[in-house]
Amino acid sequence: MKSALLAALVAAPALCLAQQNPSSSTAPAPAAGSTDAPVALDPVLVTASRTPQPQSRIGAATIVIDRAQILAAQAGDIAELLRFHAGIEIGRSGGPGQLTSAFIRGGESNHTLVLIDGVRVNPATAGGAALQNLAPDMIERIEIVKGPRSTLYGSDALAGVINIITRGASTQQIDASIRGGSYGTVDGSASYANRIGAYGFSVQTEQQRTDGLSACEGGPDKSGFRNNSVNVKASADAGIALFEARAYNTQGKVETYDSCSPLFGLNPAAQAFRNQVLALSAAAQLLDNWDSLLTLSRGEDRIHQYTSPDTVRTIRPMLDWQNTVTVLPELRALFGGQVSQERVDALSFGSTIHQVVDLYNVFLQTQYDRAEHHLQLAGSLLNHDAFGSRFTWNAEYGYDLPRTAQLGTSLIAAAGSGFRAPDATDRFGFGGNPDLDPERSLNLEVGVRQRWGTFQTWDLRAFRTRYRDLISVQFDPANDANIDFGFRAVNVDRAKNAGLEATYRYADGLWSGTLSGIIQNPKDRSDDSPLLRRARRSVTAQLRRDIGNVYLATDVLGTSDRADVSAVTGAPTKDSGYLLWNLGAGVKLPHGFSLAARLENLLDRDYQTAAGYRQLGRAVYGTLRWEQR
């Protein structure tokens, strides 16, 4: 794996160098078979600094998944998109709709902050955001930042941020699609968008249904999944300000098992879920050099078990104010803050949880871009009801070496700290401990970013991350056995990760592709054991060829084995490494129709991303889409 990864990453630029055409534009031509053009090699991102920045000037490691990639993937949820990017490990407890976690650069799943249009959707109870419930057809693009961003977004952003940007209104457009295939999968979606003068409106709806497969090894019943999603946006330009209202709602039902251990019985279970984001925003130019954005949002996360009285509900109202001031042409200042309240009502394993927490965060950031120098400094002060005030920071510097017509090289250094407050389950759930301390992270990285000619870029990073005061539920015989059977959450774990990450991208309008890989060593510092469900080595490759109205595509993912815990006995075990190979094709038909097909897991590999939980075998899907603009 290691030799193949290094050889592929080194050889890729040489293989494509002969295809260079220096006189061509840096933006690739529109993709055939799709009404969306592939994103340029230097797209503009907002998530990394809360302000628009070309990717080439961002110190942090970033990923952009554009609309064309989303359509070609024909994915059931966004986790299927994320897993084909090295440095993002996906753990899934079964097939579609089952609990899904994302581990960025060795961090815990709840160390990744997930946003929908800039609004956080992580629950205030246990675990990360419900990635398995987010329907891809409503998404315009996904921006991913690796490394801590608590400075700009508050708690939870220790390892990285995933910002899901939903579709909006630009010009009049109507589209509809139907997708079907293996495991009884039938999905349907429809959308309408229009802009008339100063007013814009868009609405998308999608229904997903699949019979799935048994989530547990040896389970007698299939674990089905039903999901209904709606996304609505409306905007009005009043001259003095641009107003926007947004509503995102997804809800449905997923079937599973209450345990995958035969010792307790493979008893079928089911739960209903709901994830919702409502937001109102106003953007205005207060002065010629001062832009301001005010957003009022409300997020809700709800789960209700059908086979037990357990239930979870999180409500988070938030007021976010952001200001950008251009001090000099090369110097910008960003300042603002958030005021939010987390309300949790839950019943979990017999423990009743009721928590109301107020959070206040203020931040200040400066960006300096002049000639070959690119500097970003940021700091924030977060005040939490239960844990007082905490300071986090980020510092990033990039230096551009002298450029030639064919080669541009930038040297990058970045550092930052992260913060995560214990959630309601950590404090008051099974084994809960109200006296816990927050989890903290410190990340250091250096890198080289290069542009070769017009069509190629390369990014190489070496990083080192340390985590302190990680929260773990442990058994202590000295505890009162009548209280959570002697289990208690404590701040005992320390973790570290160091690694090398590389990404190569090519796009000339006919060919486009990405090759990425990571070599890392995520460990528990207390006993030097590997962290669970995180591979030490992985490599991914994505390649697409456009030929007239037809496109051909392939995705490959290879990963080494991962430490885990048996779902049957609870003893240490390993999830074997695996290779996934997908094929896709699409054709643009007359009258706005297009047809796409995708073959998943071509080699029919039997693999697991969580011990004891099954994954899909070979599967075939087809999508018929109609668009009119």
Q: 3-class DSSP state for residue 616? A: coil
pLDDT the model gives residue 494: 87
Distance CA 520, CA 527 (A): 18
pLDDT tens per residue across span 512-537: 999 999 999 999 888 888 988 999 99
Provide the domain limits for residue 577.
2-628
Question: The tokens of 50 are what?
Answer: 């809360």
With 90 as the cut, is the pLDDT of residue 463 above it?
A: yes
CATH number of the domain within which 322 lies: 2.40.170.20
Distance CA 126, CA 147 (A): 21
CA distances from 304 to 94, 99, 131, 226, 317 (A): 19, 14, 17, 15, 21
> For the CA atoms of 472, 476, 482, 488, what is the dihedral angle to 10 degrees?
-20
Sign of the alpha-carbon dihedral angle for 93, 94, 95, 98: negative
Amino acid at 327: V
Q: Which pLDDT band, with edges at 50, 70 and 90, does 439 fall under?
A: very high
* Residues whose CB is less than 8 angstroms from the CB of residue 30 and which lie 6 or more positions away in sequence, other chains included: 36, 37, 38, 509
Is the pLDDT at 332 greater than 70? The verdict is yes
Q: Give the separation between CA 5 and CA 33, rounded to whole angstroms.
A: 31
Query: DSSP letter at 246?
Result: E
Alpha helix stretches (DSSP H) within 442-504 = none
- Residue with the bigger pLDDT between 223 and 31: it is 223
Lowest mean pLDDT among 125-129, 141-145, 180-184, 471-475: 471-475
8 has pLDDT over 50: no
CB 179 within 8 A of CB 625: no
Q: d(Cα 123, Cα 371) in Å, to the nearest integer?
A: 43
DSSP for 255-285, written as a single string: EEES-S-TTT---EEEEEEEEEEEEEEEEEE
Q: What confidence score (pLDDT) does residue 17 get?
A: 38
User: In the numeric block, which tokens belong to residue 473?
Assistant: 């539920």
Distance between CA 436 and CA 492 in Å, rounded? 10
pLDDT, one tens digit per residue, over 275-284 is 999 999 999 9
Backbone angles phi, psi at 39, to 5 degrees: -70, 150
Lowest mean pLDDT of 25-34, 127-136, 175-184, name the range: 25-34
DSSP character string of 388-424 = EEEEEEEEEEEEEPPP-SSEEEEEEEEEEEEEE---H
Burial 24-52 (b: 16+ CB within 10 A, else e): eeebbeebbbbbbebbbbebebebbbbbe
CA–CA dist 173, 190 (Å, integer): 11
Confidence tier at 261 by pLDDT (50, 70, 90): confident
Of 381, 380, 387, 391, nearest to 426 by C-alpha is 387
Split into its structural domains, the chain has a count of 1
Report the predicted TM-score, pTM, of the whole model to 2 decimal places: 0.91
| Cα atoms found within 13 Å of the Cα of residue 193, Cβ hemisphere only | 22
Q: DSSP state, 59?
A: S
Highest-scoring range by mean pLDDT, 364-368, 383-387, 467-471: 364-368
**Average pLDDT for residues 207-229, to the nearest whole number?**
93
**Mean pLDDT of the region 421-441:** 87
pLDDT at 388 over 90: no
